[in-house]
Every structure is written in C-alpha cells, then in structure tokens.
C-alpha cells in the first residue's frame, strides 16, 4: 500500500453519514468504494478513509425498461445480475467482461469507475454511448448525463458529494463494444461503443463514442448524423472506416502513437457500428 498519512478509517452507515464525514475532513478525506484506485494510489494528503460499501447503494433494478444501478455495486455483481445481463441483449455484459480481470472486478465498483474516469477506461466510453444518467447527493440531490458530467470539473464535485446511482435508458436498437489492447486483461489502446436503431431497413438513430484516444470518451456526433437514414451495407461500413480514420481526434501517449491510433480508429468504429446494426436488424 502506497498511501501514507491515513490516520482514520470509518464505516459510513448511510449517504448522510458519508457526507458529513467527508465534510469534516475538509478535502483530506476520501470515499472508499472498491478501493482498486485508492489502494494503488500514492496520495499523501489523505487523513481519513470513509468506507461506503455499507451505505445501501449495492443494487441493480429494472424499472420501466431503465436499468438502475447503485454505485457501490461491484462489476462482478452487475455481471451476474439477471436484469443487467438482459439489458439491451447483453450490451452491458459485453463491456464489463472486458474491464480489468476477475479479481479486480470482484472489488471495483461502478461508481468508482465513473468517478476515477481514467481516460483509457472502458466504462466511461460505454456510459457515454448509452446515454447513462448519473445521480448524486451533495448539498442537494442532482443528476446529469454522464457525458455532461464529464464536461464539468466532476472530480471537484465528488470531493463533496456521493455518486449514488447510474441509470441506463431503454433503446429501441442494439449496441456493440470494441476494445483494442495488448493482451486480454490489459487496458485499452482504443475503445468504442456504438448503438444503432433500424427502421424500415434504414438507420433511424446512431450513437458512437470513442475513448482511450488517449483522451476520455467523446461522441462522434458528425458520424451519428451522417448515418441517419442510410441503409446498412458493406459500402457504408467502408465509408465509416475511411471517414473515422480521416477525422478521428487522436494523440500520442506512452502506450501508442497518434499515427497508430489513427490507423486503427476507423476499423474499431466500423466493427462496432456494423455489429450493432447487424444485431439491431435481427
């Protein structure tokens, strides 16, 4: 453990208690969910850890086609939950079983993944594409699309608030997820989540998010608009690949070069869109 300076460990019993403890530490306390990130952290500024695994936020519920997931639910618990498995014919399962490795999925929570929001992470990409909504409690209860949350200084928000729920809306269509990594359990060099709805043989709507570019996921709204009204075909998928390769915003980091990312971005998005369309047409 590389965290130094921690002097107190608290087991919060509810959201209110977690918030008042957080408040009492004036920025020197942190909420502890799965601990996968905090357990690796070398922060020296933390004095108190506030365990939130017992505050009643471990649940998966299906409501009017929406899937509501409490933020302390572990990735394994989600993967094993029948409602989560059913959601969009397994779209969520397809993503989560590519996230990290089983013993880490036993620890990591959905809330921790949303708040840590590593730019290379897969969960933010999927949640942005799916139009997921986040709910949190700080001074008051608030909610926003995960995509909008990421446009705000969200890390500052969650120094004084508890993210309580992620809700996934129903979609009349299908999604597919693609991830390129060096090995099966490794983090993404590029990832994409795409959704497509088909009506009368034409694409009625499309959602495309690309992440690990190496920046955090962003939607390709120009592509979503261009796809509307088109009939799925190999020619269309070839065009998607070429256009994404041309227009993708990619960069260098220590894992991959911008040139390499550009050369694969088109393929990754093409595969995800084509697979989503094929599923939607079934």
Partner 1 sequence: MKIYFELNGVPQYPEVEPGESLLQLLRRLGMKSVKEGCGTGDCGACTVLVDGRAVRSCIAFAARAQGKRIITLEGLGTVNDPHPLQEAFLDAGAVQCGFCTPGMILVAYELLSRHPDPTPEEVRTAIVGNLCRCTGYRKIVDAVMLAAEWKREGRWR
Ligand X SMILES: Cc1cc2nc3c(=O)[nH]c(=O)nc-3n(C[C@H](O)[C@H](O)[C@H](O)COP(=O)(O)OP(=O)(O)OC[C@H]3O[C@@H](n4cnc5c(N)ncnc54)[C@H](O)[C@@H]3O)c2cc1C
60: contact with ligand X by CB under 6 A: no
56: contact with partner 1 by CB under 8 A: no
Contacts of 4 (CB under 8 A, 6+ apart): 42, 44
Among residues 130, 132, 215, the alpha carbon closest in space to that of 173 is found at 130
Judged by CB under 8 A, which stretch of 30-38, 171-179, 223-231, 250-258 contacts partner 1?
30-38
40: contact with partner 1 by CB under 8 A: yes
Q: Which of residues 19-38 bind ligand X (CB under 6 A)?
A: 30-38
Among 79, 97, 104, 204, binds ligand X (CB under 6 A): 104
120-159 footprint of ligand X as x/- string (CB under 6 A): -xxx----------------------------------x-
> Could you give the dihedral angle defined by the CA atoms of residues 173, 120, 34 and 48, in that order, rounded to the nearest 10 degrees?
-130
Cβ distance 134 to 113 under 8 Å? no
Q: Is the peptide bond before 274 cis (omega within 30 degrees of 0)?
A: no
Helix, strand, coil share (%) of the chain residues, nearest 5? 35, 25, 40
Helix (H) or strand (E) run with residue 243 in it: helix 234-247
249: contact with partner 1 by CB under 8 A: no
Number of shown-chain residues binding partner 1 (CB under 8 A): 29
Interacting residues with ligand X (CB under 6 A): 30-38, 40, 52, 71, 99-100, 104, 107-109, 111-113, 115-116, 118, 121-123, 158, 162-163, 187
């Amino acid at each position: 453990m590389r965290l130094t300076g921690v002097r107190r460990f608290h087991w919060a019993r509810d959201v209110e208690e977690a918030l008042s403890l957080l408040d009492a530490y004036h920025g020197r306390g942190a909420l502890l969910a799965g601990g996968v990130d905090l357990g690796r952290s070398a922060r020296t500024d933390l004095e108190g850890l506030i365990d939130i695994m017992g505050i009643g936020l471990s649940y998966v519920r299906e409501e009017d086609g929406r899937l509501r997931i409490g933020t302390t639910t572990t990735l394994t618990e989600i993967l094993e939950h029948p409602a989560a498995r059913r959601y969009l014919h397994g779209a969520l399962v397809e993503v989560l079983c590519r996230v990290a490795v089983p013993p880490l999925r036993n620890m990591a929570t959905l809330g921790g993944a949303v708040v840590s929001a590593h730019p290379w992470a897969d969960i933010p990409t999927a949640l942005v594409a799916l139009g997921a909504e986040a709910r949190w409690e700080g001074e008051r209860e608030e909610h926003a699309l995960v995509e909008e949350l990421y446009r705000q200084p969200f890390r500052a928000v969650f120094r004084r608030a508890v993210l309580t729920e992620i809700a996934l809306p129903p979609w009349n269509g299908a999604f597919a997820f693609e991830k390129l990594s060096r090995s099966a359990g490794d983090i993404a060099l590029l990832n994409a989540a795409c959704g497509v709805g088909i009506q009368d043989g034409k694409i009625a709507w499309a959602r495309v998010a690309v992440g690990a570019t190496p920046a955090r996921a962003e939607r390709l709204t120009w592509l979503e608009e261009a796809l509307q009204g088109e009939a799925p075909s190999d020619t269309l998928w070839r065009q998607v690949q070429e256009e994404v390769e041309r227009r993708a915003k990619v960069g260098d980091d220590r894992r991959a070069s911008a040139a390499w990312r550009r050369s694969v971005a088109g393929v990754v998005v093409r595969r995800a869109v084509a697979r989503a369309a094929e599923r939607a047409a079934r």
